[in-house]
A and B are shown apart, each in its own frame.
Chain A
Amino acid sequence: MNKLWALKKSIWVYHVSSGSCNNCDIEILDCLTPKFDLERFGILLVGSARHADVILATGAVTRKALPRIKRVYEQMPQPKLVIAVGGCACSGGIFKNGYNIVGPYDKIIPVTAYIPGCPPKPEAIIDGVVKVINSL
C-alpha cells in the first residue's frame, strides 16, 4: 500500500509507439507543454523503460513491433501499468483488418486503461491518467 502512495504522486511515463500515425504521439507531447504541464502532478516522460511506471502505448500493433512491445513490457520493473492511447491502440481503429496487424494492445499485454479518440485531446489523456491513479 505504501508503494502505491508514492506511485500516485510520481508517475514516470514511457512512450511506446507501434505503427501509429504520430497524431497520438504529438498529443502526448502536448501534455508536457506549458499549457497542460503534467510535471506539476509529478508526471515525467522518461527515456528508458527501466525507469518507467506506466507505458503510454499508441498505434495498432504491427507484426514487426510485436516482439519489441513484449520485450519493453518485460523490461519494466514492478509495479507497472499500461495505458492504451488512441482508437488504434484501444481497438485497432481503421487498421483493424490490416494484413500486418496483430491486434490491439490488450491481446498482447495487460492494459489498465483505454483512452479512445483519434487522436485523444490532451485533456482526455490527463483525465485517463487521473482515473488510473484514482483506481489504484
Chain B
Amino acid sequence: MAANIFYFVVFPGFLFTAVVGLLASWVDRKITARIQWRIGPPWYQNFIDFFKLLGKETIIPRGARRTGFLFAPFIGLIGATLVSLILWQMNLDPDRSFMGDVIVLIYLSILPSLAIIIGGSSSANPLGAMGASREMKLILADELPFIMAIFTPLVKIGSIKIGSIVTYQLNYGMMFTHHLSSVIALIVAFLCMQAKLAFVPFDIPEAEQEIMAGPYIEYSGPPLAIFKLTRAMMLFAMPVFLISIFLGGMQINGWATIWSIVKYLVILILIILVKNTNPRLRIDQALKFFWLRMFPLACVGFVLALVGL
C-alpha cells in the first residue's frame, strides 16, 4: 500500500512527471527562443511561473458552473499522472503489465482534453465555449488515426500489453527500425501527438491570436497553474508512450538510461521544430488532414502489419 502511494505521488507518478515535464517545457521555450534569435528564459522559469500562479487569486466568473469550473483542472491532472505512472511501471517492470493496458492508456490520455472541454464550456465565456468545441472536434479528428497507428505494432506482435511489446523490442530490436509498418505508424502517431499536445499547427483550441487562450481564458491562479502543469506533464508522458510502443521503451540501468534520454530528447526536439516551422491550421483543415490523409496512411500501415512487414 505504502509502495503504491509512493509510486503514485513521487516516482514515477506525480512529482517525477511534473518536474521532468516542466523542464521539458523549458526546453520547448528555450529552443523556440533560439530559433527566433532570442536568448530565452532560464531553466527554472516554468517552476517560478507555477508557484506564482499558485499564489494568485482564484476568480470564478459570474454565470460559470462552479463545480465543473474548479474540478476540470484536477481531472486533467489525474489523467496525465496516471498515463505517466502506468507507462513507467510497465517500462521498468514489464511483468506488471496487464491485458489491455494499451486501451486503458489511450482512454486516460484523453482525460486532459476532456478536462479542457469541461473547463472551457463551464466558464461562461463565448471564447471559452468556442475553444471547447474546437477541442472536441480536434479529438474526433486525431483519435481515429492515433488508435490505428498505436495498434499497428501490437497487431504485428499479437499482444495488447505494453509489457510484452517492450520485452519484444528488448529482444529483437526496435519496431521502428525493423518493420516498415511501424515506420508509417510512427509518422501518423507523431502528428496525432502534436494535436493531442495542442501544439502548432494543431493549437486550434487555444489559438492565442484569435480566441486569446480559448478554454483557459477565464482561469486565474491555482486552476490555471494546474492546467499549465497538466500540459507540461503530457509533454513528457505522450512521447514516452510513443517510445514505449515504437522505439524500444525507456530503461533505467547504466548506459540504457542515457540512450532512453536521447530518444526522448530527439522526439521532443522534433515536436518543437514542427511547432516552430508551421502555421496554424483551421479546424476544418485539421479534420481533413487527419481523416483524409492520416487515416488512409494509418490503414496502409495496419494492412502492412497484417501481411507481416
Contact = CB atoms under 8 A, between A and B. Distances in A.
Given A3-B55, A40-B41, A78-B56, A48 B217 contact: yes
A30 to B, nearest CB: 13
Interface stretch (A6-14, A85-93, A102-110): A6-14
Q: Is the interface of A mostly helix, strand, loop or mixed?
A: loop
Given A34-B38, A77-B221, A47 B56 contact: no
Q: Is the interface of B mostly helix, strand, loop or mixed?
A: loop
Contacts, number: 76
A42 interface: yes
B45 A10 contact: yes
Contacts of A7: 52, 55
A53 B57 CA distance: 11
Interface residues of B, number: 30
B283 to A, nearest CB: 19
Contacts of A37: 33, 38-40
Nearest to B221: A77
A46 B56 contact: no
A39 interface: yes
A47 B208 contact: yes
Contact of A46 (B29, B41, B52, B213): B213
Interface of A: 2-3, 6-7, 9-10, 34, 37, 39-40, 42, 46-48, 50-51, 53, 75-79
Closest 4 CB pairs of A and B: A47-B212, A3-B55, A77-B57, A6-B52
